[in-house]
């Protein structure tokens, strides 16, 4: 038997984040991965590696989704970077067109290459059209602060409160990631299931953020859910897998390292 893991996300041309990372993770976790590309991000080495961002035509996104969902009976999907209100419209419409066992939303809110006004419209569209459909949402500290409307998140209790406030907006589960941003020796994430908070801890691996860690965590969660795990088991396994990918990181000419899956 084969389990299908599907992702709708952006391409990141250096292979550290985005759909490249998602598909590598799906492969490592013994699922058949397939993906729909929403946008193309090419970091610019001539401009401090800033983001160059090109959205894919919404009709082409719709065609890709039609191909994937017609080819196989998909019931678990990860949503990564969408990037524009037009993309969010087409993806939200497609999600509404069939039933899903799980929609895992990695709420990638900002992309440095975007004009701030456009980024705000995109954030609002994501909150209005995709967040309420998600069964699991995986915000990092910054995204948890924006989505919860809290002024600051400085402790694990604050992170749990943010997760509760985000769950009030529709998603059944919130996996809020403290990562290296919260003080202490452990990278702490909290999983809120609508009534209880489970705290997930692992020793921090260095103090710097590593590109692709968030994408890997949400993709590993998606693969484990595709294979039939419960959300709490999938979250624990995803955290372990991501820790190993951070430890096996690669360095190149970018100002940050990138995760390496399955090393």
What does the binding site for ligand PXL look like in residue numbers (CB under 6 A)? 9-10, 12, 17-18, 41, 80-81, 108, 214-215
| Secondary structure class of 49 (helix, strand, coil) | coil
225's enclosing H/E stretch is: helix 213-226
Q: Which residue has the tokens 């100002």?
A: 255
| Minimum distance, C-beta of residue 80 to ligand PXL, in the bound complex (Å) | 5
Beta bridge partners of 103: 77
Find all residues with CB under 8 Å of 245, minimum gap 6, and list them: 25, 212, 213, 216, 259, 260, 261, 262, 263
Q: Which of 140, 132, 102 is nearest to 4 (CA)?
A: 102
The residue among 215 and 221 lying less far from ligand PXL, judged by its C-beta, is: 215
CA-CA distance, 247 to 110, in Å (whole number)? Answer: 26
Chain position carrying tokens 């990138």: 258
Closer CB to ligand PXL, 43 or 161, in the complex: 43
Closest residue to ligand PXL in the complex (CB): 10
Nearer to ligand PXL, 81 or 175 (CB): 81
Q: Shortest gap between Cβ of 136 and ligand PXL (angstroms)?
A: 17
**Residue (33 or 156) nearer to ligand PXL, CB:** 33
Give the residue with the Cβ less far from ligand PXL, 4 or 53.
53
Question: What is the closest distance, in whole angstroms, from the C-beta atom of residue 172 to ligand PXL in the complex?
Answer: 23
Please report how close the Cβ of residue 2 comes to ligand PXL at its closest, in angstroms: 26
Q: Give least dist CB 150 to ligand PXL, A.
A: 22
Residue 55 or 170: the one with the smaller Cβ distance to ligand PXL is: 55
Give the integer Cα–Cα distance in Å for 130 and 79. 9
Of 9 and 95, nearer to ligand PXL (C-beta) is: 9
d(C-alpha 108, C-alpha 208), whole Å: 19
Q: How far is the CB of 179 from ligand PXL (least distance, A)?
A: 12
Q: Which two tokens stand for residue 150?
A: 């809290």
Q: Least separation, in Å, of the C-beta of 197 and ligand PXL?
A: 25
Residue-wise DSSP of 148-215: HT-S---SHHHHHHHHHHHHTTS-SEEEEE-TTTSSSSEEEEEEE-SS-EEEEEEE-SSSS--BTHHH
């Amino acid at each position: 038997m084969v389990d299908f893991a599907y992702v709708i996300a952006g391409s990141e041309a250096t292979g550290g984040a985005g759909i490249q990372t998602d598909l590598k993770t799906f492969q490592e976790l013994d699922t058949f991965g397939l993906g729909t590309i929403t946008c193309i991000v090419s970091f610019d080495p001539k401009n401090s590696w800033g983001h160059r961002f090109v959205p894919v035509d919404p009709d082409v996104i719709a065609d890709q989704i039609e191909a994937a969902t017609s080819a196989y009976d998909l019931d678990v999907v990860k949503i990564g970077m969408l990037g524009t209100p037009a993309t969010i419209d087409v993806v939200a419409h497609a999600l509404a067109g069939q039933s899903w066992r799980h929609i895992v939303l990695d709420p990638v809110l900002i992309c440095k290459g975007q004009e701030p006004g456009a980024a705000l419209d995109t954030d609002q569209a994501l909150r209005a059209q995709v967040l309420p459909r998600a069964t699991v949402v995986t915000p990092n500290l910054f995204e948890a602060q924006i989505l919860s409307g809290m002024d600051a998140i400085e402790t694990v209790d604050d992170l749990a409160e943010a997760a509760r406030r985000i769950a009030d907006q529709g998603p059944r589960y919130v996996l809020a990631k403290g990562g290296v941003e919260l003080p202490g020796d452990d990278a702490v994430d909290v999983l809120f299931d609508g009534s209880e908070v489970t705290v997930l801890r692992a020793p921090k691996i260095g103090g710097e953020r590593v590109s692709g860690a968030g994408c890997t965590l949400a993709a590993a969660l998606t693969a484990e859910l595709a294979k039939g795990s419960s959300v709490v088991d999938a979250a624990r396994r995803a955290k372990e897998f991501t820790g190993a990918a951070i430890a096996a990181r690669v360095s190149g000419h970018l100002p940050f390292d990138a995760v390496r899956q399955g090393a």
